Structure 1
Amino acid sequence: MSVQIDIAGLRPERIAVVPSPLAELGMALHALSEPGHHPGLQGWVTGVTARLDPHLADRMCEAEFLWRTTFSDLFLPYAGLPGRDTLPTPTLAEELDLLDKLTDEQFTDAALEFTCAPDYDQPGPAVLTDPAQRRRALELAATRGPRQARFAERLLDDPPRVRGWIRQFLEDCDEAFLADVWARVRHPLAADARHKTDLLRHKGLAEALASVSSAVTLDESGARITVDKLVGGRTSTADGGLLLVPTSLGWPHLLVLHRHGWQPVLHYPVGSPELAAPPSVEQLTLRMTALSHPVRMRICRLLARSAYSTTELAQVHGITAPEISRHLGVLKKAGLITTRRRGRYVLHQLDVTVVARLGSDFLEGILR
């Protein structure tokens, strides 16, 4: 599966790489709510949580569905403005002003997108005007507890009031912890944005996307970007631009805004411990499947200790050489074993380094 962005006809000057303080605040709130996703931020999370005002912490829980289960598009409001080419701004206050420019319908639809709905990238009725959509939103909110159900009901009944509440909450978060974070990360993020922009100008979009993540590729025609993820979706830059937003807090998340009618956005982590060539979702699936078979697990037990020929493995396991060869073929296709020739024998051995990475690779793959 993947998210695809149709960029046919997109002019280079309509591609921008710009940091966003509001997007960074959204990722900070996510890290505070789901610290297990971000082991490298454990110290920061502990420090912020220890000094957080209890009233602000309580308010944080009240609206956490905006950043815990999903990363709400409200943290990228410039993408929803007319023209589909508005850019992030240097300050949080300016970006909150952009958030205020979203219509009530846009704001509410984005705020109540609790799950990866199948119609996310398709036109559909607005939750404020369609009774069926309203019922669905309230049902989804109720599954996350009475507090979020009450919040969703208030938002549907009085969007301006709740919008004011959210803006005040985000301003209070800025005072409590984001201002310090932004002062520390804005220069590295700006440097990364300049680097990506230089790549765009001098080496082209393919090189710039490769520097974002090996999970982001441009097809040979230069007309479609594919982001390797465990979700599917499509969007287009028609009549708009493409925006790349770096984050210092985001790894392992690589987010793609592909909401219908909004400017496509790649929200990508910088300074991440990503491997030089992390496996694609397809490769990861192959590896997990290859190791799930009991015979192949027993073969791996031997190959982890030493190199064996096909004949030796057949003798040890009491099955035919062709059967062993089929199992070895599955393991080799998944990239889990290496082979070398010794005289007239071909020896196979488990690539222990690859297998040892599977836990982190799996986590990165499902969180990407």
Structure 2
Amino acid sequence: MLALRFGVADLANTRFAVSPLDHLLTGAAQHGVHTCLGLRRDRWWREIRRHVPQRAAPFLDLVNASPAGLPNFMGADLDGVRRRLTDELDAVRRRLTDELDAVLAVPQQTFEHDLAMYGTATQLPVALARLRDDGARGLRRITDGAWALFHSCLAPHWPEISRRLEADIADRARTAARAGVGAMLDSLHPNAHWRDEGVLECTLGDPSGDFALGGCGLELRPNYFVQNGIGLLLAEGRPSLLVHPLATRGGASAKPAPASADGLAAVLGPARARALRAIEAAPCSTTELARLLGISPPSASAHAAALRAAGLITTRRDGKQVRHALSEVGHDLLLDNPEAAARTGAELKSIGRPA
């Protein structure tokens, strides 16, 4: 757990930002490398993947180069467009051109320092090694790739995504006005918990420790593609960044529904709801599905047949086995049950996939 310590100035300097670059970074990420993504990203990627331009390859390679995440300079601060927290919690509306210019303007020393976190030359993934060898001038290939991906694939969706982001910010602004900034921060995600002594506790897996924001505040970036967690980029001398999902339908202050309040299970039955979510976690054979659910293969086969008959999964032969995967209808159904899907994903992770 990371504890972010707020002073009075940090609360005054906390604000929202709408970032097209953040959405390119999360939209281009693979689930095997980045764990906070959700079904919205999957659905978008299925729709656009055939239209991804070749120019985007350097950007895609960098985004997925390492499970350690992205170099910090990809979240470069835009000093020229800072805006402090107002009574209405105004948001900074960033332009992608400004964000990419900020990446290109990263000093060489900062560039080298950020790449050093990935280890020695022999340990660097290919995309990072090439960027290190090219130096900061190699960032031009990355930003050109990001622009090509946005223009071809994200721009048609951006007006609707922006509308959803603005609505989320407005909802959270009302929470801040009604109950205070601390209550608003506490409502960001179950992995972010506000303590009255001015500490925001963030659960992010292994990282732990205390970090004082030092009067620079926190920039909150709602992200349409992030559904299963939060992301944090700590910074000295400038605002730290926290990426969070949009609020659930209950509003910004809504808490996760109890496990028993599962609309999907009410429709499909608990066993088939679990089976659908297991298949969502990764396409699997009938035998693998049985092991994930702790049931017999005939029972798993029966569940798969029922889900297939309902149009929620597809089944194809793979050698001597069959493999089950979500259909478009199945994706959409799970999209309407994000919290339950996230809980099940955690449960499946604890069970573990068969070797």
Say which SS state the counterpart of residue 240 (structure 1) adopts: coil
Q: Is the 8 A contact 2:17 2:220 kept in 1?
A: yes
Deviations 1:63-87 (Å, cap 9, x if unpaired)? 23467651443342117x5999798
Question: What is the Cα deviation at residue 362 of structure 1?
Answer: 4.2
1:225 equivalent among 178, 197, 200: 200
Contact 1:18/1:190, CA 8 A, preserved across alignment:
no
> Is the contact between residue 19 and residue 193 of structure 1 (CA under 8 Å) also seen in structure 2?
no
Whether 1:77 and 2:76 are equivalent positions in the alignment is: yes
SS in 1 for 2:157: helix
**Mapping 1:63-212, distance limit 5 Å:** 63-65=62-64, 69-78=68-77, 88-111=92-115, 113-114=117-118, 136-141=119-124, 144=125, 147-148=126-127, 150-155=129-134, 158-159=135-136, 161-212=137-188
Task: Note the C-alpha offset of 1:20.
Answer: 1.1
Q: Report the equivalent of 1:335.
A: none
Distance 1:212 1:14 in 2: 17
TM normalised by structure 1 equals 0.60
Separation in 2, partners of 1:202, 1:228: 26
CA distance in 2, matches of 1:66, 1:74: 15
Alignment of 1:279-290 (within 5 A): none
Describe the superposition over 1:100-136 as per-residue Cα deviations: whole angstroms up to 9, x where unpaired.
343222234335544xxxxxxxxxxxxxxxxxxxxx3
**In the TM superposition, what is the alpha-carbon distance from 1:262 to its structure 2 partner?**
4.2
Q: Distance in 1 between matches of 2:59 and 2:80?
A: 30
Evaluate the alpha carbon distance shift between residue 66 and residue 203 of structure 1 in structure 2; reply closer, same or farther with a 3 A threshold: farther
Question: For the residues of structure 2 that align with 1:220 and 1:35, how far apart are their CA atoms?
Answer: 31
Partner of residue 254, structure 1: 230
The one-letter amino acid paired with 2:4 is: I
CA contact (8 A) 1:3 1:234 kept: yes
Larger radius of gyration: 1
How many pairs align? 260
Amino acid at match of 1:276: P
Which whole-Å deviations, capped at 9, do the CAs of 1:155-184 have from their partners, x for residues lacking one?
4xx32x212222211111111212123222
C-alpha contact (below 8 Å) 2:228/2:342 kept by paired residues: no
Name the amino acid aligned to 1:138: A
Which residue, 262, 276, 279 being the options, matches 2:256?
276
The percentage of counterpart residues that share the same residue type is 14
Give the Cα–Cα distance (whole angstroms) in 1 for the partners of residues 75 and 218 of structure 2.
13
Change (3 A) 1:18 1:6: same
**How much is the aligned-residue C-alpha RMSD, in angstroms?**
3.7
2:204 partner letter: K
* SS of alignment partner, residue 77 of structure 2: helix
Q: Give 1:226 shift.
A: 0.6
Aligned counterpart, 2:25 = 26
Letter of the aligned partner of 2:151 in structure 1? Answer: E
How far is 1:17 from its partner? Answer: 1.5
- Structure 1: where are the runs of 5+ without partners? 115-135, 280-300, 302-354
What TM-score do you get using the length of structure 2 for normalisation? 0.62
Paired with 1:209 and 1:110, the residues of 2 have a C-alpha distance of 28
- Structure-2 change in CA distance of 1:358 and 1:248 (3 Å): closer
| Cα gap change, 1:3 to 1:364, in 2 (>3 Å) | farther
State how far apart, in whole Å, the 2-side matches of 1:220 and 1:192 are: 24
The 3 A distance-change label for structure 1 pair 39 and 67 is farther
**Partner secondary structure for residue 249 of structure 1:** coil
> Contact 2:3 / 2:202 at 8 angstroms: preserved in 1?
yes
Q: Which runs of 5+ in 2 are unaligned?
A: 85-90, 260-294, 296-339, 351-355
Report deviation, 1:41.
3.2
Is the CA contact 1:6–1:237 (under 8 Å) kept in the aligned structure 2? yes
Query: Using the alignment, how far apart are the partners of 2:94 and 2:219 within structure 1?
Result: 15
Do the aligned residues in 2 keep the contact of 1:77 with 1:99 (CA within 8 Å)? yes
Q: CA deviation at 1:57?
A: 5.3
Rounded to whole Å, the distance in 1 between the matches of 2:46 and 2:216 is 41
